[in-house]
Chains A and B, each alone.
Chain A
Amino acid sequence: MNIELKLQALVDGELDAREVREVEALLARDEFASLLVQELKWTKSAVRHSEAGVALPETREFFWSKVERGIAAEARNQAAPAASVAPAWWTKLLFPASGLAAMVAVLFVMSGPRSSSDDALNENVAEDINAYSFHSEAEKMSVVYVSDENADFSPVGQEVKNETEAEK
């Protein structure tokens, strides 16, 4: 391989390590070779970054079809803003109506039955009375069972007693 080709191969990165060392030793000795390598690098860089693009030829039909598509697209763009300027009348009610619905829902929750559970309802008993409550879901009844410490309250005692005495 002559010296010019080796220099070109060096610039293109095609030499192995040994050949690179040999060529670099040559460049250190030979000023002409060094200048040639520099010029090859510039040339390579100029070709890489300044290469003209290749454009495909465009047919007449394709050119006019592009124009037609552009006109159609512009017509669509003009129609769309007109529609957005005047939205349907009911869309104006959307925000106030949804806010109002939320407010009504809150009022409904606030005004609804506070609790249907008797457990939440308070209960007071006299000092000498013990009472306990329970609820039977099956029989649908709430019970307050009182226990009189003095055992002197008998709402039915008098009626039953009267009859017992009458029997005697």
Chain B
Amino acid sequence: MRLKPKSSRMFLRALLILMVVSAWGWQVATATAAPEAKVQAILVWGTDEIKPDNKSLKQLDGKLHEKLAKVFKWQHYFEVSRKSSDLPAGKSQGLKLSEECSVEIKVLPENVAEVKLIGKGKTLVTRRHSLAKAEALVLAGDDRNNNAWFVVLNFN
């Protein structure tokens, strides 16, 4: 196959322009589009005490219990509440986990989620979490009587 010089130059120019425009469009699309995601939020209570006879408290599933126990010092972990939600791109999504605790999550461009922990109507912590890796974000703190609370956020 041999192209004539003139048609060859035109073909090359057209190809170059097409590829430049495609690359630019791809760059713009990837830079601005916020991907959709799903989130599961679990409010957990950690304690060394024997489980209180509370019907709303459930034993935490084994896998998450094991993960928390490897990182934190408490012996028992109970699930207080669990919420799941889709995260529309660019929109903030609130999840109420208890009377005093909720989280607001917004998926930002570049595959990052902005998480706000809200307690008593006040934003306590704002954290940006990369969704590039399948890693959980755990917001935690001390509770009364040497217990602790955990908000475990799993994204997918």
Contact = CB atoms under 8 A, between A and B. Distances in A.
Interface stretch (A31-39, A67-75, A137-145): A137-145
Contacts of B31: 111
A144 B153 CA distance: 12
Contact of A126 (B124, B130, B142): B124
B124 A153 contact: yes
Pick from A92, A126, A156, A158 the residue with the most CB of B within 10 Å: A156
Interface of chain A, main secondary structure: mixed
B89 to A, nearest CB: 17
B138 A153 contact: no
A52 interface: no
B149 to A, nearest CB: 5
Contact of B126 (A123, A153, A157): A123
A155 B98 contact: yes
A154 B100 contact: yes
Given A107-B26, A129-B124, A153-B119, A159 B98 contact: yes
A140 B134 contact: yes
B135 to A, nearest CB: 5
Interface string A1-26: 00000000000000000000000000
A77 interface: no
B8 A92 contact: yes
Contact of A160 (B57, B128, B140): B57
Given A111-B31, A154-B100, A116 B132 contact: yes
B30 interface: yes
Interface in A64-122: 86, 89, 92-93, 96, 100, 103-104, 107, 110-111, 113-118, 121-122
B2 A153 contact: no
A111 B80 CA distance: 40
Contacts of B52: 160, 163-164, 167
Contacts of A86: 2
Interface of A: 86, 89, 92-93, 96, 100, 103-104, 107, 110-111, 113-118, 121-126, 129, 131, 133, 136, 138-148, 151-160, 162-164, 166-167
Listed from nearest, the 7 A-B pairs whose CB atoms lie closest are A155-B101, A163-B54, A121-B128, A146-B141, A124-B126, A141-B136, A156-B45
